[in-house]
Amino acid sequence: MSTTTVAHDEVHHDHPSGIMRWLTTTNHKDIGTMYLTFSLVMFLVGGAMVLGIRAELFQPGLQLMNPDFYNQLIGVHALIMIFAALMPAATGFANWMIPLQIGAPDMALPRLNNWGFWLLPPSAILLTLPFTLALFGIGDGAIATGWTFYPPLSVQGGIGVDFAIFAVHLLGVSSVMGSINIIVTLFNMRAPGMTLMKMPMFAWGWLITAFLLVATIPVLAGAVTMLLTDRHFGTHFFDAAGGGDPIMFQHLFWFFGHPEVYILLLPVWGFIPQILQTFSRKPMYGYKAQVYSLWAIGALAVVVWAHHFFTAGMPVPALLYFMYSTMAISLPLAVLFFCWIKTMWKGSMTFETPMLFAVGWIILFGIGGLTGLVLADVAADAQYHNSYFVVAHFHYTLFAGGIMGIMAGVYYWLPKMTGNMYDETLGKWHFWLTAISFNLTFIPQFFVGLAGMPRRIPDYALQFAEFNMISSIAAFALGLSQLLFVYVIIKCVKGGKKATDKVWEGAEGLEWTLPSPPPYHSFTEQPVIK
């Protein structure tokens, strides 16, 4: 008897063209492309909003908008950047690369994958529609509570809050669908011979992300639903006058909100080491140490949430616990930094654009991590809480650590995805313009924050004027630099020098064994890992 094990069931043999291809596709590469395109569009939308914010902050005093509209821009900018730009970008890479990296022909549940994506555009519409409705006199604009939905402000807010609650529900459903698919795919569809400890680091990063989503999305969904019932159905979950507790919302929100940071960053921590090893032409250093560190960070992520509201008041033992547990995250993170640097150590390094972004990412994300350590200190946090120092800190983690990481991934995989090399000169220009303007935008915000400038305020004292002016000019430079990014991508998609299968000399992994671009159905013959 002979037994043949062949590639997994392929459920999509029809390949419609035109718009129906994108509406009905179950192909992981098509869906990945849709996620990445959606992410890029929403990145520009969220970026345009922040340029409005920075234009208002160019000078002290109210210049362009009323404070309520300013607050709406702040809240929707954050929600869009987190949920509609950064998360879909990471999911787009997961869809594109995880099946290729583990030797699977597609994701395990392709139809679920399609639904997961198509929930995103309605969510983005729900988030931004209140702006348009307000122009026609319907409602009072978008959510103006910041992305945190804190009651009682959110209970008292206008219809923008309801729109945001439903948007968050749709985004949550989409995220759970994505995590089901990732978990099932990674456990069930690995090529023969690919044990868990042979999985690429990107797959590990996403696996832990998926577990974090499983742990936290129901909490967010429950929290915003309770908010909804407080607003419209007479419950008092968060109303102190009715026996509720507004601080409970903060616990619920940040139980989701803090792991969300790692949900955004873990996929990046997965593929950055792959980029470092490729351009250092050396094997990744400390694979096992990195995997265990990612798990340690994932576990710590769900037990440190209250450091986001030390100043709300809590018992001293709780303050101490949350301070020390937060600081403990720096230990596995230090292991990761060590491994990333050691991967490059004495390597034959070259600095193509992905490597420039990866090295720049290590430095800038390092600043984000270290300033986070400052904020984890209860005594120091009492001074810095709610100041621009916090804004600068989380932009070093989420813009530098998140978005610049994603940009590294885009440059790294774009030739594989499109079959064309991007314009290296323009890519390098994009890196330097982004890195310089990013620092010029946010370093001044550390200074004004340390000097006491509060966040989420459209006006400020004269003493902060110069630094804010620098920050606003640099923010516009940062925003305009991203148009270059869009141009480089479009140019690469349209044509350019043909990419080889391996693309990069030092690239390792199954995705580089396929042609560039990979065929519509990736692995028709099952690869075997030795």
Partner 1 sequence: MLLVMDCKIVARPNNSLSPENSLKLMVLLAIIALVIALGFTHIGAWLVLPFAGLELAAFAYAFYYIYLHSSDYESIAIEDDKIIVEKRNFKETSITEFQRYWTQVHVRDVINNKSLASKNGLFISSRGKEIEFGKYFIDDEQRVTLARELKQKLQSIH
For partner 1, the binding residues (CB under 8 A) are 1-17, 108-109, 112, 176-177, 180, 183-184, 187-192, 194, 211, 214-219, 221-223, 225-226, 229, 237, 244-245, 248, 251-252, 255, 302, 520-521, 524-526
Cβ-based nearer residue to partner 1, 252 or 364 = 252
In this structure, what token pair is assigned to residue 382?
């009492």
Q: What kind and span of H or E run contains 368?
A: helix 353-376
Distance of closest approach, residue 28 Cβ to partner 1, in angstroms:
14
Cβ-based nearer residue to partner 1, 14 or 317 = 14
In this structure, what token pair is assigned to residue 207?
């696996």
Distance of closest approach, residue 22 Cβ to partner 1, in angstroms:
15
In single-letter form, the type of residue at position 98 comes to I
- Residues 124, 130: Cα–Cα separation, whole Å: 11
In single-letter form, the type of residue at position 201 comes to M
Cα angle for residues 154, 179, 294 (degrees, 5° grid): 95
- Identify the three-state secondary structure at position 498: strand
Distance of closest approach, residue 172 Cβ to partner 1, in angstroms:
8
In 3D, which of 294, 102, 88, 101 has the Cα closest to residue 177?
Answer: 88
Taking CA atoms, 514 is separated from 100, 201, 204, 246, 519, in Å, by 8, 19, 21, 54, 8
In this structure, what token pair is assigned to residue 84?
């509609």
Cβ-based nearer residue to partner 1, 214 or 319 = 214
CA dihedral angle for residue 169, residue 171, residue 174, residue 175, rounded to 10 degrees: -110
Cβ-based nearer residue to partner 1, 194 or 275 = 194
Cβ-based nearer residue to partner 1, 227 or 376 = 227
- Residues 306, 249: Cα–Cα separation, whole Å: 11
Distance of closest approach, residue 471 Cβ to partner 1, in angstroms:
38
Distance of closest approach, residue 188 Cβ to partner 1, in angstroms:
4
DSSP for 416-473 reads HHHSB---HHHHHHHHHHHHHHHHHHHHHHHHHHHTTPBSS-S---GGGHHHHHHHHH
- Residues 239, 14: Cα–Cα separation, whole Å: 54
Distance of closest approach, residue 214 Cβ to partner 1, in angstroms:
6
Cβ-based nearer residue to partner 1, 177 or 378 = 177
Q: Classify the C-alpha dihedral 399-402-405-406 as positive or negative.
A: negative
Cβ-based nearer residue to partner 1, 17 or 462 = 17
Distance of closest approach, residue 44 Cβ to partner 1, in angstroms:
32
Instruction: Please enumerate in sequence order all residues whose Cβ is within 8 A of that of 168, keeping only pairs 6 or more positions apart, or say none.
Output: 79, 83, 123, 220, 221, 224
- Residues 85, 242: Cα–Cα separation, whole Å: 38
Cβ-based nearer residue to partner 1, 69 or 117 = 117
Cβ-based nearer residue to partner 1, 137 or 234 = 234
In this structure, what token pair is assigned to residue 393?
């800190």
Query: What DSSP designation does 302 have?
Result: T
- Identify the three-state secondary structure at position 318: helix
Distance of closest approach, residue 179 Cβ to partner 1, in angstroms:
9
Distance of closest approach, residue 210 Cβ to partner 1, in angstroms:
10
Query: Contact 144/71 with Cβ under 8 angstroms?
Result: yes
Cβ-based nearer residue to partner 1, 5 or 136 = 5
Distance of closest approach, residue 372 Cβ to partner 1, in angstroms:
24
SS3 letters across 221-235: HHHHHHHHHHHHCCC
- Residues 433, 419: Cα–Cα separation, whole Å: 26
Cβ-based nearer residue to partner 1, 7 or 73 = 7
Distance of closest approach, residue 112 Cβ to partner 1, in angstroms:
8
Distance of closest approach, residue 389 Cβ to partner 1, in angstroms:
31
- Residues 49, 33: Cα–Cα separation, whole Å: 24
Cβ-based nearer residue to partner 1, 14 or 316 = 14
